[in-house]
Amino acid sequence: MIKPSLDMLIKKVDNKYTLVVLAAKRAREIMNGSTVLVETKSNKPVTIALEELAANKITYERTKIGIK
């Protein structure tokens, strides 16, 4: 079972492509030394990024040229 669930994560963003881009962007930030915003047992950057999104610790802003 995947935690957090995909159904719950999709409700936090406007579509699944936004979810992928947001998770990848945040995972890169974590790999480059950014502070982790949630307590987690995982050491995988993508899992941490998804857990942060599920906990409403990260947000996004839609712009004409991409996601900020």
Show the 3-state SS of the chain: CCCCCHHHHHCCCCCHHHHHHHHHHHHHHHHCCCCCCCCCCCCCHHHHHHHHHHCCCCCCCECCCCEC
Residue 3: the pLDDT is 79
Return the domain boundaries, the chain. 6-54
Six token digits for residue 19: 């979810």
Measured CA to CA, the distance from residue 4 to residue 31 in angstroms comes to 20
Predicted structure pTM score: 0.87
User: Exposed, middle or buried by CB within 10 Å (0-12, 13-18, 19+), for 54?
Assistant: middle
Residue 2: the pLDDT is 66
Per-residue pLDDT of the chain (68 residues; tens, 9 = 90+): 567 899 999 999 999 999 999 999 999 999 999 999 999 999 999 999 999 999 999 988 888 887 77
